[in-house]
Chain A
Amino acid sequence: MDLDNQIPENKKFTVFNVVVGIILVGGLVLTILRFTKGLGTVTNLDNNNPWGIWIGFDLLCGVALAAGGYVTSAACYIFGLKRFHSAVRPAILTAFLGYALVVLALHYDVGQPWRLPYPIFYSPGTSSLLFEVGLCVFLYLTVLFIEFSPAAMEWLGLKKLRNWVVKLTLLLTIFGVILSTLHQSSLGALFMIAPSKLHPLWYSSYLPIYFFISSMFAGMSMVIFEGSLAHRHLKYKMDETHLKESTGVALGFAKAASLVMMGYACIKIVGLSIDSNWHYLATGWGLWFLLELVGFVLFPAILYAMGSREKNLMFIRLASIWTVLGIVLNRLNISVVAFNWHLPSAERYYPSFMEIGTSVFIVTLGIVVYRFIATRMPILHEHPDYKAH
């Protein structure tokens, strides 16, 4: 059965399409405003708060939540968990789109986006962690593009090229894990240069490790979360193998995420003890920190554990959404909420509606492109000519 290019005749004015249409038009307006009036008009950024949600959400959360690509492909190809095979392609596609959108979002945030190739090709500032992030994101985006390309080639019928690229799978997977380790951790290490601005509960010399470890369960949770979304809206695109394996993927990742999250909570407590920051827990910031750690790490970890033990998909799906929210909370805490905590509230940053609108626009763009690709290319099913099962 050929599932490609079977796009059901939909009504054009569904609720989804109308909402998406409005967001895209709004985004276009914001884009024009940003590039004709400047950052000052669109954002609430100022000299004390040079980074807002375009970095805190679009970059930090975007990269963390796109970690499903390296996690799933490593599980399948390096650790040999072959039952995750049908989850690899959707995860790679999401990761590729995620990183592409991160780079797109950066074009809005930096002052002179046409100079974005400078750090890599013109004047590399190798002492900067941002250079490491930039180089790794650039390389990894390339890797993800190559990893994703077989799906497009199968769709386009480029058999020879496709078979040649597929031979690179293991190499690309290993390269992808190296690059992900480096830039996921470096995003945390970015803030190590500013111990005087980030609240001690979040500042730690372990920041890079926290970011890397949390990217693992962020990636797994996104795979589970997306899987449940795809089941609801794109089920007709899934072949038997995908449908048969998807429960196993959810159960497997739930168990793994639960373990990694418990470990993450432990190393967070280790960091707290090493810097002797216990006394901050009794403050308002401490409560906020505990909400993040207990409410959005330990609680979903337990929910995951119960879900995988009872084989309860409802628990697992709930835990995946909860974990994703926890990652967003953590990244925003470090980049926006607990950053510049020493400033009086009048000098603190709150995102403008236009900043939020732009972020919503970029996420929506991702969903639209995902749907476009997943309904046309062999993502949720195997192409009949290239069966691995």
Chain B
Amino acid sequence: MAISRRKFLGSLGAAVGATTTGSLTKAYGAANKHFNGYPGSSGVLHDITKCIGCRKCEQACNKVNDLPQPEKPFEDLSILDKKRRTQAEEYTVVNQFSAREKIFVKKQCNHCLEPACASACFVKAFKKTPAGPVVYDESLCVGCRYCMVACPFEVPAYEYDKVLTPRVTKCTMCAPRLEEGKLPGCVEACPREALIFGDRKELLKIAKSKIQKYPDQYIDHVYGEHEMGGTSWLYLSGQPFESIGMREDLGTTSAPELTAGPLSAVPIVVGLWPVLLTGVYAISKRKDKIAKEEKEDALQAARVQANEDMNKKLEEQREKMTKEKTAAINFEVKKALEEAAKEKEKEAEAGEVEDSEEKGKQEE
């Protein structure tokens, strides 16, 4: 099958090309560190100076998300006396701050450009959609609540009282309604222009032009432009944000960047540790081996030394014994000789007597 061979080679080339260019694009993407949000993604501009604290947004949120009715009706504004945060059944709350005049601030998920919750989630239950909303998939959630630890705005809430299917809940920026071409519930319900929905880039322009036009009405800061890497919700205020319950010490580093360092250590540890540890093992093993060899050498040397000493001693002993033996023999010989000599002397004396006796006999 000649054709299929050619086809095969062709597709192989295409595959190689695709992977190469693919990786090149990825590398380029990774080099481009600053993520300024998906192009054309939506957001909401909250002009705090325009908010009158009517809680219409809370009511609309409750309705479009099918949340249970609260104990006190939304018309009851006495609830504003207490500072509130988002709860499992309240995706948005309006808080009241009293400076010279009453100031009302709406609080809900800020839909970060690089969300801490999505970065922290170990099952990818949170996702930043290209349209703007940060959405949650309850079918994946294990319920570890690390997203709640991670969120710098203290937004996600948990259904602690549900036994089998507790979920993390938060504002969805009405993602399902956006898909239908509708406005988020709260924006639609706002009777003033305190909430404006639109392309985030356009909203930024609007916010900045407002600041420029009315410098005495607004603080020169668009909250959410850079906070924690930027958020889809943007805020304009006439009072310092810190004084109306919005933290100004969050910095501009996005959550994923905060944990990028330790995550990047993983491959290095996995790559380096086996080499180092095997090396340590090899060194300790070699040390043991050398110690063993040295011990054996020392033993051998000791053995040789001992042998030599023994031989030397034996030699000395032998010499000594030989000497003693010789001495003993000499002594014995000497003794024998002496004895023999004595004997001879005696014999000689006796002979002399006999001789003289014989001489005497002869003389007679």
In the complex, A36 Cα to B162 Cα: how many Å? Answer: 10
- A166 at the A/B interface (Cβ < 8 Å)? no
B202 CB, nearest partner CB in chain A, Å: 29
* A to B CB contacts below 8 Å, 9 in the list: A38-B162, A46-B160, A47-B156, A48-B154, A78-B281, A111-B167, A119-B122, A130-B144, A130-B146
Cβ 8 A contact of B163, one of A35, A122, A123, A182: A35
Cross-chain contact A115 with B141 (CB below 8 angstroms): yes
Q: Report the nearest A residue to B162, measured CB to CB.
A: A38
Given contacts A186-B262, A192-B258, A193-B120, contact A40 B161 (CB under 8 A): yes
Taken together as a complex, chains A and B put the C-alpha atoms of A119 and B277 apart, in Å, by 29
Cα of A194 to Cα of B251 in the assembled complex, Å? 11
Contact A125 B258 (CB under 8 A): no
Q: A128-B119, A128-B120 are in contact. Are A50 and B285 (CB under 8 A)?
A: no
Of B141, B148, B152, B156, the contact of A196 (CB 8 Å cutoff): B152
A178 contacts chain B at the CB level, 8 A cutoff: yes
Residues of A within 8 A of B (CB): 35-41, 43, 45-48, 50-51, 74, 77-80, 109-113, 115-116, 118-119, 122-125, 127-132, 134, 170, 174, 177-178, 181-182, 185-186, 189-197, 205, 208
Chain B residues with CB under 8 Å of A192's CB are: 258-259, 261-262
With an 8 Å Cβ cutoff, the count of chain B residues facing the other chain is 62
Q: Which residues of B contact A181 (CB under 8 A)?
A: 269, 273
Asked whether, in the complex, the Cβ of A112 is within 8 Å of the Cβ of B119, the reply is: no
Does B284 belong to the interface (CB within 8 Å)? yes
Q: Which residues of B contact A196 (CB under 8 A)?
A: 152, 247, 249-250
Given contacts A123-B124, A194-B149, A112 and B143 within 8 Å (CB-CB): yes
B236 at the interface (CB under 8 A from A): no
Identify which of residues 133-159 in chain B touch chain A, using a CB-to-CB cut-off of 8 Å.
Answer: 140-146, 148-150, 152, 154, 156-159
Q: Which of B252-284 contact A (CB under 8 A)?
A: 255-256, 258-259, 261-263, 265-266, 269-270, 273-274, 277-278, 280-281, 284
Nearest residue in B to A39 (C-beta to C-beta)?
B160
Query: A129 contacts B123, CB within 8 Å?
Result: no
A116 touches B149 (CB 8 A): no
Query: Are B122 and A130 neighbours in the complex by a CB distance under 8 Å?
Result: yes
For B120, the chain A residues whose CB sits under 8 A away are: 128-130, 193
1/0 per residue, CB under 8 A from A, across B31-67: the answer is 0000000000000000000000000000000000000
Of the candidates B125, B158, B261, the one whose C-beta lies within 8 Å of that of A205 is B261
Are B287 and A80 in touch, CB under 8 angstroms? yes
List chain B residues, Cβ under 8 A from A205.
Answer: 261
Q: Interface digits, B335-347 against A, CB 8 Å rule (1 contact, 0 not)?
A: 0000000000000
A68 to chain B, nearest CB (A): 18
A197: B residues at CB distance < 8 A? 149, 152
- Asked whether any CB of chain A lies closer than 8 Å to the CB of B108, the reply is no
Pick the contact of B266: A40, A124, A182, A191 (CB < 8 A): A182
Beyond A38-B161, A196-B250, 8 additional contacts (C-beta under 8 Å) are A41-B161, A111-B166, A118-B123, A119-B122, A127-B263, A129-B259, A193-B149, A208-B262
The answer to whether B262 touches A111, judged by C-beta atoms less than 8 angstroms apart, is no
Report chain B residues within 8 Å CB of A109. 144
